[in-house]
Structure 1
Amino acid sequence: MSDSKTDGCDFNTPAPPKISAWDICWTLITLVVYAPLSVLTSLCHPGQTWGDMKEQISHDLVLCFGRRLPVPVIQRASEKTGAIIRKSLRYTGAPFHVAEKVQKPDFSGYWVYRDKSIKSRPQDADLVLFHLHGGGYVMGHPLDNAPELLLIAETLSQRSHTVAVFSLEYSLVPTARLPTQLTQTTAAYTWLISELRINPSKLYLIGESAGGHLILSLLTTLYERSVDQNPLALPKPAAAFLISPWVNLNPCGADARARHQGLDPRSAAFKHVLERFSNLVLHGAPPEYLKLHGSFAHRAPGRGSWKYILPPTTWVSAGTAEPLFRFDIEEFVAASRRDGADVRFELADGRVHVWQSVEARDQEGKFLALAPGTDDARLMPGYRHIAELIVGCLEDRA
């Protein structure tokens, strides 16, 4: 249960980004000037309840930091070890393994959850959940959504399903350019299938935002290899759960600007952050990669049919209050259905980008403070819904 290496010793993790004197100065300016201005702006909305006001302040601060903080500072702030989770009241002495670090020559990640009965044999689990975190390829950590993933795992366990949850620690832009992240994801998927002998029918993918894009890139790569009869070809997984997937890496491009005129203030502020991250992601990416993976909202010559790329169960969610992502997601869903793919799409009224995670962030502390064996059904309802969908998939195939 430690964060030390558990497999292999020659994985070369990119060194954490160095923070310069200029980065420190600009961070101080952001904290002293721009952050207070952001809070004051949040307080100026009339007719808000205290709960709405707290949510508005939190959201506006995230946008402020995402737009103005230097990237090395953002990425340092994203680093985690899993100690908070393991030392929480809920998981201290838990009868299962939590946040175990895995390092391999080609990738690293965490077993977020493993039943002790399957400690050395994840292939014996009823389900292996392969998670890819969000963060625009610029920020984020595989343990960002650990409480939510643990909630899913506990829900499955309560229904008598054994489960293992693996979350990939892919390298971040700009230290590692695209398609490094896809290479690492493919290596991890190969490890799960070929080395751990996990049956693809028991393997489900789940990812938020950029993690959703990475899932679609992985599925496209698996399809390409199967068509080309590549000796490295592997079967696709049984299911994919895409939470506000970032299906178009250039959602603020020239062809989309007219659509984004007249944005509400929150979306307009988010657009600045998205443009910043998009420019970082697209810079230096090979044209041949962008041709197939740059936008899944539009048909790309040579990509193939979504009917054969997507797994038998594909679930996609978005919110009506995320216009910078919603329309591209809807176009992807429509294109997939035209190809004959069975895609379930849920559009939540009034919800923002990755609303399930946004909602959970304010409730993770309360969840981790619950005593083992207890629960509060009011916490993290978005992820509880996803957990029920996963349970339904398992039981339908039983």
Structure 2
Amino acid sequence: MTASTPTLTAWDHAKFAGVMCQTLTTLLTSVLTAGFRGESGASSYKRHVIYQTFRTFTRTNTTKQAQAAAGTSIDAYNAFVTKNGLKAEVVDLANNTRGAWLGDKSADTIILWLHGGGYALPLGVGHLQLIHELMLAGRSKDRNVSCFFLEYDLAPEGVYPRQLTQAAAALQYLTTTAGIPPSRIILAGDSAGGNLSLGLLSHLLHPHPSIAPVSLATPLKGVVLVSPWVTFDQSAAAMKANAYKDLLDGLVLKRWSDAFMGEAAVDNYNTPLAAGGEWWKGLPVGEVLVLAGTDEVFVGDVGAFVGHLKVHNGNKMEVVVAKGEAHDMPVLDYLLGFAPGEQTQAFHKWVLERA
């Protein structure tokens, strides 16, 4: 079935009021103490206040509460296109899945975006605004870019490998039903969407035993990985060193990853870091962009994964690790009201140079 929003009980609403009280308390405390954060805190006063408040909010509420408040990915999409006076086009895909177009499907370059959110949260305004700004910038440079957003099932209702099945259906739709050559498609994903993007690339290289194969006539134009979630293990040094510099919380990551995995075992599709360099030989993409921030808890794991990917793909990779930036900044710059940072600018530049 297509995505739906959980229904909250009266008790759920009462507990959510408590969540908001704790979050407001953290906000007020952070405003007073952020000036004394030291080197262990975020790179600016504003970031420290926002990140600490966000960590409290995600840690104290439940996934059910968060999903009820956020709505579905298509809800977010419909609200965005209505607000911005854009054309809405929602598409029914195979496997009871939906996707949505932002822009014209005849564009020279099509981005297939697999959104982040820990497999627990839907597409958000940050994702949509990032792509909308990219499209506007492209028009000023005579570069025609559009995007197809996948709405995949969120955990715990949807568990691995359900989301990979849906991602494969989205790519199959683009290349077969929509008739778009792979050479015009850039696969992109942030955080959990980066995990899913890598799962899809693994499926192209080594078809998952429970998912129908997807065959490409030519390689994809490229892939963009924004702070990809490459392992659910939290033993990397950066998980501790950057715990108060980033907006992600280890307990929340554990909750989200457990919900996504269900009873499944770790494998190369759900944990890209588990795959060695040989696994990625013959990667069916023209070029690769990897983005991360020095202050994010994933930076060490992303670096280790990049080492694996470079074994056979180093000549087509660009890696940007932005100083002082935290997790998933190209999306969060727009969500949180920051000026476009190094990662966001690198993303726009990389895509438009290839559009």
Q: Give the TM-score taking structure 2 as reference length.
A: 0.86
Matched ranges for 1:71-110 at <5 A: 71-79=63-71, 80-82=75-77, 84-88=79-83, 91-92=84-85, 97-106=86-95, 107-110=97-100
Are 1:309 and 2:283 matched, yes or no?
Answer: yes
How far apart are 1:308 and its partner, in Å? 1.1
2:331 aligned residue = 357
Residue of 121, 127, 130 corresponding to 1:139:
121
Displacement of 1:266 after TM fit?
4.1
Q: Are 2:54 and 1:67 equivalent residues in the alignment?
A: no
> CA offset at residue 36 of structure 1?
1.4
Residue number in structure 1 paired with 2:292:
318
1:46 & 1:251 partners in 2: Cα distance?
32
Please list, as runs of the form range in 1=range in 2, the aligned pairs for 1:1-398 lying within 5 A after superposition. 12-46=1-35, 52-79=44-71, 80-82=75-77, 84-88=79-83, 91-92=84-85, 97-106=86-95, 107-114=97-104, 122=105, 124-141=106-123, 144-225=126-207, 232-235=214-217, 236-248=219-231, 250-252=232-234, 256=235, 260-261=239-240, 263-267=242-246, 270-285=249-264, 287=265, 290-299=266-275, 304-309=278-283, 311-322=285-296, 324-341=297-314, 342-363=316-337, 382-394=343-355
- The answer to whether the 8 A contact 1:42-1:60 is kept is no
* Aligned counterparts of 1:125 and 1:266: Cα–Cα separation in 2: 39
Query: Structure 2 regions of 5+ residues with no counterpart?
Result: 38-42
Contact 1:128 1:164 in 2 (8 A): yes
Give, as a single letter, the amino acid of the residue that structure 1 aligns with 2:267. Answer: K
Q: CA deviation at 1:60?
A: 2.0
Aligned partners of 1:81 and 1:105: how far apart in 2?
Answer: 21
C-alpha spacing 1:379/1:348, structure 2 compared with 1 (3 Å): closer
CA deviations 1:197-255 (Å, max 9, x no partner) are 101110111111011111111111011249xxx8752344110011101111x132xxx
The aligned length equals: 342
Alignment CA distance shift 1:189-1:260 (3 Å): closer
Quote the Cα distance in structure 1 between the aligned partners of 2:348 and 2:242: 33
Task: Please state whether the residue corresponding to 2:130 is helix, strand or coil.
Answer: helix
Contact 2:228/2:302 (8 A) holds in 1: yes
Q: Are the aligned partners of 1:14 and 1:171 in contact in 2 as well (CA < 8 Å)? A: yes
CA RMSD of aligned residues (A): 2.8
Alpha-carbon distance in 1 for matches of 2:323, 2:342: 15
Q: TM-score, normalised by structure 1?
A: 0.77
